[in-house]
Amino acid sequence: MWAPVGVLTSLAYCLHQRRVALAEQRGSDDQNSVDRSLLELKMVQVVFRHGARSPLKALPREEQVEWKPQLLEVPPQTRFDYTVTNLAGGPKPHSPFDSQYHETTLKGGMFAGQLTKVGMQQMFALGERLRKNYVEDIPFLSPTFNPLEVFIRSTNIHRNLESTRCLLAGLFQCQKEGPVIIHTDEASSEVLYPNYQNCRSLRERTRGRRQAAALQPGISEDLKKVKEGMGIASSDGVDFLILLDNMAAEQVHSLPSCPTLKRFAWMIEQRAVDTALYILQREDRESLQMAVGQFLHILESNLLKVVDPATPPGKTRKLYLYAAHDVTLMPLLMALGIFDHKWPPFAVDLTMELYQHRESKEWFVQLYYRGEEQVPKGCPDRLCPLDKFLNTMSTYTLSPEKYHTLCCEAQVMGLGNGE
């Protein structure tokens, strides 16, 4: 499944050498001009957050928002049959997160973390946007789902599996030529989110940071102000992450929300971002590596397999879909240098396109977040030479072997940082 590290490194070096030679051949004044009409799209990777859902944890208030089962109605256009397997094609693993969510019943009768009709519609709309981009505007994908063209992986959480279903329904208008298989992994070894249970070093480095964040100057005063306005006791353990989770869920479903949540909406989001950044500190390179390094390695390997002429036919796909979470996207955006300091909303996507120049045979990457072009860190322009993009990724990419080594390292010093 994984290409040897040495092979990937040498391939990246060859790409760099070829680009340097071509640049010298063209002349320095022409290095940055690329005729986009000569670019051929070779692969697309999309990492997306699930659609709108119910909160993960209700706020401890007397007046609770009602989450009624009517919100779970499935729009007919989103129906699309699929099968879930483990990464090896075997039976779907058990989902401890879904079991945990079913232990929390919200007022109105819904469970915590359930994908709603609104969320399904959001994902269908994202699928339609991808269809416009890669089926209609550019005839890149077949208009009907073809398993030889598309690889799908999701975290083993029901709202993500169902979000993927809705996206596929929008992308392929419920038409398919073969079985739709969604691959997923055991929670213990999942890499599509920061795995605190599986990675001891990450758990130790960040232990206590969430609680400590609420005590930081600025965050502390603002949290007290919001909680007092809502009648929530200071000892109730509510922080800005819980406040944002409820506020975002209520807003997107147009449910009657607490006036204090509405009044402080901007501040709550900013302080939630501040809290997340305090937990996963940007300057702590190893924490970011352990959070998303293995996932970056998967994205990188997909790129290099397409570029490598030795890759056998049928071993790559045109489209790779990854159903993930807000806690996945934030460190990914940080690693790529494009985090906008806003919380990743429901159904948001990070899209990575790989192009090859028809004449020079150079490779380029184009990145989009929320449908808008991005300039990754270390790239001269929105259209980024592949070797420069790989260099940016390499700062945080971890092979499974390196991930295991880093996660199992005994932490001798630095544990007090941020605790």
Residues forming the active site: 50, 326
The token duo for 287 is 């924490």
